Amino acid sequence: PGSALPKIEKVQVVGAVSRVEEAVESVAATVSLIERKDAFRDVASDLRGLLRYEPGVSIENGATRFGLGNIAIRGLDGNRVQMTVDGIRLPESYRVGLYANASRNALGLGLLKQVEIVRGPASAIHGSDALAGVVAFTTLDPASFLRGGKAFGGEAFAVHTRADGGIARGGAVAFEAAGTQVLVGAERTDSREIDNLGTVGGTGATRTEPNPQSARTESQLVKWIVPAGSGWRYTLTADRYARDVATDELSLNPRTPRTVSQLGDDLSRRSRYSAEAVGYDIGPFTRLAFTAFLQDSRTQQDTAETRVNTTAACLSAPGTINCLREVRFRYENREKGVVAIGEAEPRWFGLEHRFVAGAEFSRTRSTESRDGRQTILNTGAVSSVVGGEPLPARDFPVTDTDRFGAFVQDSVVALDPRLTWIPGVRVDAFRVRPRADEMFASSSGGRPVASLSDESASPKLGVLFRASEALTLNAQLATGFRAPPAADLNIGLTSLPAGYSVIPNPDLKPETSRGAEIGARVKAGDVEAMATAFYTRYSDLILSRTPLACPANPACVPGATGTFQSRNVAEARIYGVEARIAWRFAKGWTARAAISAPRGDDTGKNVPLNSIDPPRAVAGIGYEAPRWGAALHVTHSRAPTRVDRTVGLNFVPPGWTTADLTAWWKPLPALEIAAGAFNLADRKYWLWSDVRNLTNITAGFDRYTQPGRNYGVNARWSF
């Protein structure tokens, strides 16, 4: 096992780099592949577990309430990393304030076939949002179970994880009749809060034990594949995800000392319906695919907060009033689109080409609102003014975003039979159209809204040089861009009683990146290895809701203590090295290692980037027999040494080393059991991605520790 490390004696096929299937050895970019079998044997129960052995890739975790959040690749995260399911972009994340957080992790692991990670700018193929890279999830299909001419097959599985008390169960069934294939799958997980090594209980900011949580996650998947003759095949897919989490935030918020109780009830929903037509040997195309899709996502987060001995406005000032504040945050995305991708292998001027070309269009409607009420418990009086702010309110107007992109890529052997050139370019156009309604006009103070239209071209050039049968050298120049988000463009929110105002910025420009990387891949006998050095510059990075210098700045709102605005202010560079190796040194035995050592700087301020993970290395040794196997992995992370403390950061964790032991066994041909023991030494440690933004000196930092010694068990029955 060891999902992040290369496998021996197997040709890995990926589709996320060029959006068509190709061997890993044929791409110039750096890409990782995590297959379903690896996730099972590594006992991965969530996205963090899935990425456990992927140095250079991390995912943040909000320890107080919201849980796993953004995935970071080489130091950039959030909507700068494109995430897709079956080639369809997942909705963007959105955060505002302390109690509103719509994440992108709306998918269940039990119904996934594989995960691909493309590192570095990838907008030449994927367009906007692929500024830092791509994480592409592929769901199960009937062929996953109908091998060897079977007409019926499937799998039932169960998972238990000690760290969060999670119990997952589910399965998938596939059958074929008259050439038609159908797959139906479902999964449900019940869990609680994630353990840590905090020891202080009670209520308040000094609490370090995890806040009590209860969570339920469900996902369903249906695929129907119909052959249509003349080389065509149609696939209909329905994909649904639902998650509900209840949290008792006993840690409270140190900024609101009058708060004595805070309860959160969060739900997220995502549904996707798609129709795909794939044809082979159609005219000049070896493969031609058309996809139409509709995707809806919704986040609703309710917060009930009780305050005592405060004022009638229910703020933080002392008084004699007790009150209950109930607030509901809603964020919805509805996206529809079409995609066309074709492959061709012509021979021009005596040269063999492999062309990939595509075009896509999508329209997304984003809707956000906050509503609530405030009850004076002394008298029972109810008001729709919460914390001095009239509700309902919108932080940005209902917005339609249109995206159009067209790309082409060629792969051609030229000048030298060992040399493959992979040029490509993509042109994108986007349009943001806000619709200011009465709710937004009221909450923004009547500020006008701005539309935005722009275009961007993203070229790339990759080169492969096969120096020998064992050694391939690769290099790539690539670009990336991200269109200004609707929320940053037109956000408008003023609450003078609370002392703040957030104003729009109609002059935002797209974020851009330019990256270069060189590397080498070795495949010689029982050894596989790769090494990559990369350097990327980022321009016009948007910092959301940054404070203005008031009152000197003319954009400051009179009467507001602080005025905030999203701005293109950040210039950055990120560079480093990545390497991995696998060596089968004896029959059944494999030694593996992987390392990532990135560095990053905010070149505008000449300070380090806090989003960069410290260097991390994973080493493992495993044995695999036909019916059983085991592996020991040791992970080491250095302490962060390049830290920007000007942002008020109060905690920099030490370095750490952990060891994990996993094993699997097939007592029957159809039954496989896997188990893992993690953090064997019961080490107390923190992940930099979890604590890099902690600036409150009263925070209980042990609340952000990782689970101590814990275990997980998987079982699956194939039929």
pLDDT in tens, 550-589: 888 888 888 888 888 888 877 899 999 999 999 999 999 9
- Look at residue 33 and tell me if it is in a domain: yes
What was the pLDDT predicted at 63?
86
- Look at residue 4 and tell me if it is in a domain: no
- Look at residue 664 and tell me if it is in a domain: yes
What was the pLDDT predicted at 11?
52
Angstrom CA distances, 39 to 35, 474, 626, stand at 6, 28, 18
- Look at residue 506 and tell me if it is in a domain: yes
C-alpha distance across the termini of the chain, in Å: 23
What was the pLDDT predicted at 277?
96
- Look at residue 555 and tell me if it is in a domain: no
What was the pLDDT predicted at 1?
39
The structure tokens 């996993």 sit at 662
Q: Where are the beta strands (DSSP E) in 548-615?
A: 562-586, 589-602, 607-608
Q: What is the mean pLDDT of the chain?
A: 91
In this structure, the number of other CB atoms found within 10 A of the CB of residue 87 comes to 20
The structure tokens 């596939």 sit at 174
Query: For strand 562-586 and strand 500-503, is the pairing parallel, antiparallel, or unpaired?
Result: parallel
Question: Vertex 496, ends 438 and 328: CA angle to 5°?
Answer: 55
Contacts of 349 (CB under 8 A, 6+ apart): none
Cα 212 to Cα 694: distance, rounded to the nearest angstrom: 21
The structure tokens 């510059």 sit at 537
Q: Give the three-state DSSP class for 528.
A: strand
- Look at residue 6 and tell me if it is in a domain: no
Half-sphere exposure of residue 284, counting CA atoms within 13 Å on the CB side? Answer: 11
The answer to whether 77 and 71 have CB atoms below 8 angstroms apart is: yes
Residue 41 tokens read as 């044997």
What was the pLDDT predicted at 15?
64
Contacts of 274 (CB under 8 A, 6+ apart): 86, 88, 235, 236, 237, 239, 291, 292, 293, 294
Q: What is the CATH number of the domain that holds 523?
A: 2.40.170.20
- Look at residue 510 and tell me if it is in a domain: yes
In this structure, the number of other CB atoms found within 10 A of the CB of residue 588 comes to 11
Domain that holds residue 324: 13-550+562-718
What was the pLDDT predicted at 13?
66
The answer to whether 107 and 88 have CB atoms below 8 angstroms apart is: no
Domain count, the chain: 1
What was the pLDDT predicted at 697?
55
Question: Vertex 559, ends 554 and 565: CA angle to 5°?
Answer: 50
Contacts of 605 (CB under 8 A, 6+ apart): 644, 646
Cα 380 to Cα 324: distance, rounded to the nearest angstrom: 10
Q: Phi-psi region for residue 526, left (φ > 0), alpha (ψ -120 to 50) or beta?
A: alpha
- Taking 50 as the pLDDT cut, the residues of the chain under it are 1-10
What was the pLDDT predicted at 7?
40
- Look at residue 312 and tell me if it is in a domain: yes
Cα 293 to Cα 308: distance, rounded to the nearest angstrom: 50
